[in-house]
Amino acid sequence: MCDYFTILSLADAVLWQGSGLNLASLNYCIITAMIELNIPGKGTLKLEHLVIDVNGTLALDGQLLDGLSRSLRILRDRVEIHLLTTDTHGKQHMIDQQLGLQALRIQPGNEASQKEAYVRQLGSLSVVAIGQGANDSAMLKTAGLGICVMSREGAAIETLLAADILVPDIYAAVDLLEKPLRVVATLRK
Every domain of the chain and the residues it spans: 1-31, 43-187
Task: Identify the bridge partners of residue 182 per DSSP, sorted by sequence position.
Answer: none
Task: Report pLDDT digits (tens) over 101-127.
Answer: 999 999 999 999 999 999 999 999 999
d(CA 86, CA 65) in angstroms, rounded, equals 17
d(CA 78, CA 32) in angstroms, rounded, equals 8
Amino acid at the residue 28: Y
- What's the DSSP call for residue 110? S
Task: Report pLDDT digits (tens) over 166-175.
Answer: 999 999 999 9
Judged on CB neighbours under 10 Å (0-12, 13-18, 19+), 121 is exposed
Strands 80-85 and 104-105, bridge-based pairing: parallel
d(CA 147, CA 177) in angstroms, rounded, equals 10
Does residue 185 come out as left (phi exceeding 0), alpha (psi in the -120 to 50 range) or beta?
A: alpha
Confidence of residue 32 (pLDDT cuts 50, 70, 90): low
Task: Report pLDDT digits (tens) over 127-168.
Answer: 999 999 999 999 999 999 999 999 999 999 999 999 999 999
Residue pair 148/157 in contact by the 8 Å Cβ criterion: no
Residues 6+ apart with CB under 8 A from 119: 51, 127, 129, 139, 142, 143
pLDDT of 22 > 70? The answer is no
Task: Report pLDDT digits (tens) over 49-75.
Answer: 999 999 999 999 999 999 999 989 989
d(CA 102, CA 82) in angstroms, rounded, equals 8
Name the residue among 148, 154, 126, 150 with its Cα closest to residue 136.
148
Name the residue among 65, 66, 57 with its Cα closest to residue 85.
57
pLDDT score at 180: 93
pLDDT score at 156: 97
By percentage, how much of the chain surpasses pLDDT 70?
Answer: 83
Task: Report pLDDT digits (tens) over 90-100.
Answer: 999 999 999 99
In this structure, which CATH number among 3.60.15.10, 3.40.50.20, 3.40.50.1000, 3.40.50.10420 belongs to the domain 43-187? 3.40.50.1000
